A and B are shown apart, each in its own frame.
Chain A
Amino acid sequence: MKLVTSALESIADIQWFPIIGLIIFFSFFVILIIHVSRLGRKQEDEYSRLPLDEDDEQEYDYQNETKNLDHDNSNR
């Protein structure tokens, strides 16, 4: 850090720049982690299923790389 500040000392109040940056950076992540840890399981489950709509609950035919068109919704 001394190396950095010695190169920058000619800018007024420059010594606070990295500190402010660090504080923003650090506090953002602390708040983020707290919020994420408090995210309810139900909510998380709901969000993570957003790409999967009802269609996808059908039987998926990996052999032919396509939804099993013959069975349609009969499996569910």
Chain B
Amino acid sequence: MELQRFAYDNRLSRMFLNATMFWGFVGMLVGLTIALELVFPLMSSGIPWLSFGRLRPLHTNAVVFAFVGNGMFTGIYYSTPRLLKTPMYSQTLGKIHFWGWQLIIAAAVFTLPLGFTVGKEYAELEWPIDIAIAIVWIIFGINLIMTMVKRRVKHIYVAIWFYIATFVTVAVLHIVNSINIPVSLFKSYPVYAGIQDALVQWWYGHNAVAFFLTTPYLGLMYYFVPKAANRPIYSYKLSIIHFWALIFLYIWAGPHHLLYSALPDWAQALGVAFSIMLIGPSWGGMLNGLLTLRGAWDKVRESPVLKMFVVGITAYGMATFEGPLLSLKSVNAISHFTDWTIAHVHIGALGWNGMITFGMLYWLLPRLFNTRLYSKKLANTHFWLATSGMLFFAIPLYFAAFTQSLMWKEFTEAGYLRYPNFIETVVQILPMYYLRALGGALYLTGVILLIYNLVMTARSGSFVRFEEDEAPALRTGKISGEKGHRIIESKPVLFTILALIAISIGGLVEFVPMFMVKSNVPTIAAVQPYTPLELHGRDIYVREGCYLCHSQMVRPFRSEVERYGDYSKAGEVVYDHPFQFGSKRTGPDLARAGVQSGPMYKPASWHYNHFLSPQKMVAQSIMPPYPWLIKNDLDISTTNRKIKAMQYLGVPYPEGFADKANAHLQQQAYEIAQNLRDNGIQIEDTKEVIALIAYIHRLGRDIHGGEKVHFSER
């Protein structure tokens, strides 16, 4: 058969590779900054956009979507044409994808520190950026699928299946979770409320891990590990089975983020069961990767690339063993809301994603520049810095998690909490926070070495824009004797649809009953909508990222009921767009902060002083000060639109209330401000802190016999 000649264009890979290095550095620098802020809370020195609550979403978004995102695209744009024996379908679409993606990240860098956020983890970006993400993502998908359509090989290699699953699933996850009602250009409310919002969010959140951090990187593993080891993957059969099992099972596991919460038990049980099953396909992937190196372990000693791959794949195995373990309710009772979660995700991010990316970059860049790596010694130093950095990060946090969780749960013989002051449990684990920052610093130093090494490598060579190759044209039509999976494997569009069906089943089975069956969200007659002032306060709570350190979910444990108040119920949060359960308790839970007879209640003057200087009220507090809340006036120009948006979402404000909302707001603000003034604090009614105090004092009040809210004229 006649051979056709064609050339691969390396420019897209190079562009994404540069972006990976740049954003990797930025994302990790922000990470190190917030790790230091936890031990030096005054570091943000009252600057709003430097505070922990605003930078933490920037850190996670930068690492996940910018560092790992660009890393995945680097590998996909390099491996896809070579596996399919054809250049990418469109260089132009590729460029639009590249610049679109960088613009989205740049938008995140500006909007997140300014406090524009939806308030759902890893989905913080506001609606205009969400729309841009959807468009750019679909452009990427079109380019990917069309490249497969015009390929020259019959069989589509397993790495590309992982890329397709990534494209399809991330598109579905992103769109479903980002359906918001805009109030202004940079403010919107999710259409879901309370536990439904929580279920959708963690279906998204968990599968963002699965289909943004895992499947594309498994694809990269299936391409770059055989390349670097110069031997085929250990078992191709295993790769087929573990691919389908992985995408089928992952999509169901989201509810394990909501164990012991107000989510119905059946949904929690579903999440646990699938999480435990997940260990099968996950370890199938890990073993397939590691066993590819069978007979080549001597090379691992020599090659920093293979070393990084081995640690990366091992970290994947550890994290995917830990995941099911954390999904067991008895383990989760200890681990949830503690630093264990942080340690767990960093084994994944620093170990799996980081190491696979670094190995890929060290392997790829010398090839793109037709040269040798500038310094193998520096690469080896990077390897040790990264490995020890990861361990210094994670191990202290495991200790911190166990220590703090057990302190939270400990009772005296007389039946009282042994550590009733939350701060005692924080002080105990602070040394571990120092070590974590050290781990992060080591890891970041390694990344600086990587950038230097790769820049020097590029300078020693010259960029190879086109690489020529040749292959026979693809024979079309059915080859006799082919059936079943082999037909699917060679039909990209059919394959994409099947992957979509596979991931949709899990989502639908979880969502349909949750949204249709009334008994899943038992209503509580006493629960009323937020007043306009409280709604504004809640928006400030979301803007400042309070949910990143304070949960609003008292689990049904004696230790928690004793510490915080009655356990949380699904019916309490039916007007919460978005839900604010939180996933980490760096500070105490606030779900009962408005219950006057409860242990969490603090008067308005306490809150005022606490926002001004947390250390003045709790000497050892690690919360940063929020002086701008006291200085800034509340923007009440949006009240009308906010109330109307809430009414549109089904929150039962009286007809025509939107127009009277600001009068209601001013009355309530006056009462709170007057209370502060009575306590000797000079403050005007118009300040933001008044709204935030109003919101905090509303938390949990309705179901504890609090005064009924009157939405009519007062």
Q: Do A and B come from one complex?
A: yes
- Residues of chain A touching chain B, judged by Cβ–Cβ distance below 8 Å, are 3-4, 7-8, 10-11, 14, 17-18, 21, 24-25, 28-29, 31-33, 35-37, 39, 43-53, 56, 60, 62-66
- Seed contacts A50-B153, A66-B372; 5 additional CB < 8 Å A-B pairs: A11-B512, A24-B505, A29-B248, A52-B226, A62-B303
Interface membership of B587, Cβ < 8 A: no
Contact yes or no, B157 A51, CB < 8 A: yes
> How many residues of chain B are within 8 Å of chain A by beta carbon?
57
> Which of A21, A35, A60 lies in contact with B485, CB distance below 8 A?
A35
Give 9 A-B contacts (CB < 8 Å), ordered by A residue: A11-B516, A11-B517, A21-B509, A29-B244, A31-B484, A51-B82, A56-B230, A62-B299, A63-B376
B79 within 8 A of A: yes
The answer to whether B505 and A25 touch across the interface, beta carbons within 8 angstroms, is yes
B376 adjacent to A64 (CB under 8 Å)? yes
Contacts of B95 in A (CB 8 A): none
Given contacts A7-B517, A35-B484, contact A56 B227 (CB under 8 A): yes
Q: A-side binding surface: helix, strand, loop or mixed?
A: helix
A47 to B234, alpha carbons, bound, how many Å? 12
Of A33, A35, A43, A45, the residue contacting B232 (CB under 8 A) is A45
Instruction: Indicate if the CB atoms of A65 and B304 lie closer than 8 Å.
Output: yes
Residues of chain B within 8 A (CB-CB) of A44 are 236-237
**In the assembly, what is the distance between CA of A17 and CA of B264, in Å?**
18
The answer to whether B574 has its CB under 8 Å from any CB of chain A is no
> With contacts A44-B236, A47-B155 known, is A32 near B505, CB below 8 A?
no
Query: Of A25, A51, A52, which one neighbours B159 at CB under 8 angstroms?
Result: A51
CA distance A9 to B371 in the complex (A): 67
Q: Are B302 and A63 in contact (CB under 8 A)?
A: yes
Q: Return the chain A residue nearest B270 by Cβ.
A: A4
B286 CB within 8 Å of chain A:
no
A53 CA to B484 CA in the complex, in Å? 27
Q: Is the CB of A65 within 8 A of B303?
A: yes
Partner of B366, one of A14, A48, A53, A66: A66
Contact with A36, one of B83, B237, B373 (Cβ below 8 angstroms)? B237
- Bound-state Cα–Cα, A35 to B83, Å: 23
**Contact of B362 with A65 in the complex, beta carbons under 8 Å:** yes
Residue B107 at the chain A interface, CB threshold 8 Å: no
The complex places the Cα of A25 from the Cα of B512 at a distance, in Å, of 18
A14 to chain B: closest residue by CB:
B513
Partner of A7, one of B232, B244, B266, B305: B266
Q: What A residues does B230 contact at CB under 8 A?
A: 52, 56, 60
* A48 with B485: CB separation less than 8 A: no
How many whole Å from B490's CB to the nearest CB in chain A? 11
Q: Is B17 among interface residues, defined by CB-CB distance under 8 A?
A: no
| Candidates B237, B362, B363; contact of A39 at CB < 8 Å | B237
CB distance from B521 to the nearest CB of A (A): 11
Whether the pair A32, B516 counts as a contact (CB closer than 8 A) is: no
Instruction: For residue B274, give the distance in angstroms from its CB to the closest CB of chain A.
Output: 11
Cα distance, A14 to B514, chains bound together (Å): 13
> Which residues of the other chain, B, contact A46 by a CB distance below 8 angstroms?
155
Q: Are B303 and A32 neighbours in the complex by a CB distance under 8 Å?
A: no
